[in-house]
Amino acid sequence: MFFDPLFLLVIMIGMGFSFYASSITKGRFKKYSQFTTRSRLTGAEVAQRILADNNIHDVRIERVGGKLSDHYDPSSKTLRLSADVHDRNSMAAFGVAAHEVGHAIQHAKSYALLSFRSAWVPVANLGSGLSMIVIMIALFMGGAATATGASLSWLGVLLFGCTTVFTLVTLPVEFDASKRALTCLQQGNYVAEKELEGARKVLNAAAMTYVAAFASSLLMLLYYAFRLGLLGGRRD
């Protein structure tokens, strides 16, 4: 299988979807970074206030480098915000900062899917590291056409599926964090309705990147299952 048009098609669809989602996210963030909010708070300040509103006092806020590198680290209870979010007053900064606080709230409330995703990380890493090796060996052994090949095929697809499960579970975790973020911004009276809409548009665009990641992973999973003969496909 030196050249496979189907493989090329799957790769192009996945990359295209991911590129589109990433472009929309960057565009929305750039656009709404130009609009300040009435509160005049920075992203770091609004994050600190929302944490206090939810009686969370053991989460640190750190400034990190990079663009859209914002994330919450549950292992150290640290909220890491990029400079454009940490230091600035904008609709985009508020949306992203509040979203990351949303993850901290999930952690504080022992949100089941966040706990599952965190526990699944080593499983996903194992699957990511071993799946391609097993799949290549399975193809060499004849895929589903032979007993040994069939066993290896199922193992390879199962390992790859571990990464797909991770991208799937990430969806409700991220959607819930965004929902919590918008609720906190509104209930805390940190933004006007128009400003809230700007933050919502930024978060909706960001959500597309997670949908793209899941769709790409699922496409690759189905492709490997097909090529290995588990779905009736041919190896050659």
Q: What is the pLDDT of residue 1?
A: 47
Q: What is the pLDDT of residue 234?
A: 52
Q: Is residue 235 in a domain?
A: no
Which strands form 78-82's sheet, in the order they lie side by side?
A: 60-64, 78-82, 71-73
Q: Give the DSSP letter of residue 143.
A: G
- Residues 7-28: tens digit of each pLDDT: 999 999 999 999 999 999 999 9
Q: Is residue 130 in a domain?
A: yes
Number of domains in the chain: 1
C-alpha atoms less than 13 angstroms from C-alpha of 165 in its C-beta half-sphere: 20
pLDDT at 60 over 70: yes
| Contact criterion met (CB below 8 Å) for 94 and 195 | yes
- Residues 65-85: tens digit of each pLDDT: 999 999 999 999 999 999 999
Q: Is residue 233 in a domain?
A: no
Taking the C-alpha atoms of residue 153 and residue 146, their distance in angstroms, rounded to an integer, is 10
Residue labelled with tokens 């949306």: 95
Count other Cβ atoms within 10 Å, centred on residue 172.
15
Beta bridge partners of 61: 79
Average pLDDT over residues 139-167: 94
By residue count, the chain amounts to 236
Taking the C-alpha atoms of residue 30 and residue 216, their distance in angstroms, rounded to an integer, is 26
From the list 45, 100, 174, 195, the catalytic residue is 100
Q: Is residue 207 in a domain?
A: yes
Q: Is residue 236 in a domain?
A: no
Confidence of residue 4 (pLDDT cuts 50, 70, 90): confident
Question: Is 100 known to be catalytic?
Answer: yes
Count other Cβ atoms within 10 Å, centred on residue 65.
8
Runs of H (alpha helix) within the chain: 5-32, 43-53, 83-86, 91-108, 112-140, 147-187, 193-227
Q: What is the pLDDT of residue 37?
A: 93
Average pLDDT over residues 148-171: 97
Q: Is residue 57 in a domain?
A: yes
Average pLDDT over residues 114-137: 96
Q: Is residue 145 in a domain?
A: yes
Q: What is the pLDDT of residue 101?
A: 98
pLDDT at 132 over 70: yes
Q: What is the pLDDT of residue 24?
A: 96
Q: Which domain holds residue 61?
A: 5-227
Is residue 226 exposed (0-12), middle (13-18) or buried (19+ Cβ within 10 Å)? middle
Q: Is residue 198 in a domain?
A: yes
Q: What is the pLDDT of residue 231?
A: 86
Confidence of residue 207 (pLDDT cuts 50, 70, 90): very high
Structure tokens at 167: 């991208």
Instruction: Enter the pTM of the model.
Output: 0.92
